[in-house]
Amino acid sequence: MKKFSIRNSHAGKALGAKGVYITLAACLLALGGAGIAAYNKAMEDITDNLTISSVDSTAPKQADNKKTDVKKDESSKPDVDIQTQPNVMPVNGEILEPFSNGELVKSETLGYWKTHDGVDIKADLGEPVKAMNKGTVTKIWDDPLWGNCMTIDHGNGIVGHCYNLSKEMSVKEGDEVNAGEVIGAVGDTAQAEAAELSHLHFGLKKNGQWIDPIEFIDPADK
C-alpha cells in the first residue's frame, strides 16, 4: 500500500508539472495569437495611412500637370491671318524702275550703282496715294534723300513703304486704314530720284526683308 501511494504521489507530481507546462504553453499560444492579430491590425492601419498619404501627395502634382497642359495648348495656337481685304496698287501707272531684287542698278540721279528696293510707279504730282491693304500707320517722317515718307504695318510681317509723298498727309501715326483708303498724295520731295519723271516710290518688306511689291499685289489677277 505504501508503494502504491508513493507511485501515485510521483504520478501526481509528474502530472502536476506537465499540467503547468501545458497550461503555460496554452497561454503562450493564446498570447501569440493575440499578438499576431494585433500585429496584422497594426500593419493594415499603416498600409491604409500610407495609401491615403500617397493619394494626397499626388493630388497637387496632377493639378500642376493640368496647368502645364493648358499652357501648352495656349502656346500651340496658330497666329491668325489678319489680312481680310484684297491688295490694291497705291497708284495706277507705268513702272518706271522695277524692283532689283538685290542686284545693283545705276541711279540716274545719284550717278552710282545701288540696289533698288522698291518700284517707281509713274503718277502725276498731287495724285492720291492709297493704302495697299488694311493696317496701321506706324511712322511718318521727312527723309533727306527720300522726302516725305510713310510706313504702314499690314500685319503678318508685311510693312508698306511709300516715299516721295507730298507734305500734306491724309492720316497720322497710329491711324487704322483700309485697303484703297487715301493716305496722302504724290510729291516731288525725294532728292534721291529727282531726275526721274513724277512717281511714287513704293516698297514692301516681309519679315524685315525687301520683296517685290508687284509680285505680292499681283494686279493681273485683280
Does the pLDDT at position 95 exceed 70?
A: yes
Domain boundary among 77, 105, 138: 77
Residues 61 and 102 in one domain: no
Distances (CA, A) of 220 to 123, 161, 206, 214, 217: 19, 22, 21, 10, 9
- Number of compact structural domains in the chain: 2
Encode pLDDT of 16-72 as tens digits: 444 444 444 444 444 455 555 554 554 555 445 444 444 444 444 444 444 444 343
Look up the CATH number of the domain holding residue 127: 2.70.70.10
Is the model's pLDDT at 1 over the cut of 50?
A: no
Backbone angles phi, psi at 211, to 5 degrees: -130, 170
Select the highest-mean-pLDDT range: 37-41, 104-108, 120-124. 120-124
Q: Which residue has the cell 529727282?
A: 194
- pLDDT (0 to 100) of residue 62: 45
- Residue 88, in any domain of the structure: no
Whether residues 67 and 118 fall in one domain: no
Radius of gyration for the alpha carbons in the chain, expressed in angstroms and rounded? 48
Give yes or no: residues 39 and 145 share one domain.
no
Q: Do 68 and 162 belong to one domain?
A: no
Task: Give the cell for residue 2.
Answer: 505504501
Q: Are 157 and 136 in contact (CB under 8 A)?
A: no
Q: Which residue has the cell 534723300?
A: 145
Give the lowest-confidence range in 13-22, 95-104, 137-146, 202-211.
13-22
Residue, of 17 and 117, whose pLDDT is higher? 117
For the chain, helix (H) and strand (E) counts, in that order, are: 2, 12
Q: Quick one: 204 and 154 in the same domain?
A: yes
Say if residue 36 is in the same domain as residue 64: yes
Collapsing DSSP states into helix, strand and coil, what is residue 179? coil
Assign 3 to helix, strand or coil: helix
Based on the fold, state whether residues 63 and 100 are members of the same structural domain: no
| pLDDT of the residue at 114 | 94
pLDDT tier, 134 (very low <50, low <70, confident <90, very high otherwise): very high
Q: Are 69 and 131 in a shared domain?
A: no
d(CA 118, CA 97): 8
| Claim to verify: residue 113 and residue 213 sit in the same structural domain | yes
Instruction: Supply the range of the domain harboring residue 46.
Output: 1-77
Residue among 148, 157, 131, 174 at smallest CA distance from 210? 157
Rounded Cα–Cα distance for residues 77 and 16 (Å): 91
Query: Does the pLDDT of residue 194 top 90, yes or no?
Result: yes
Quick one: 71 and 100 in the same domain? no
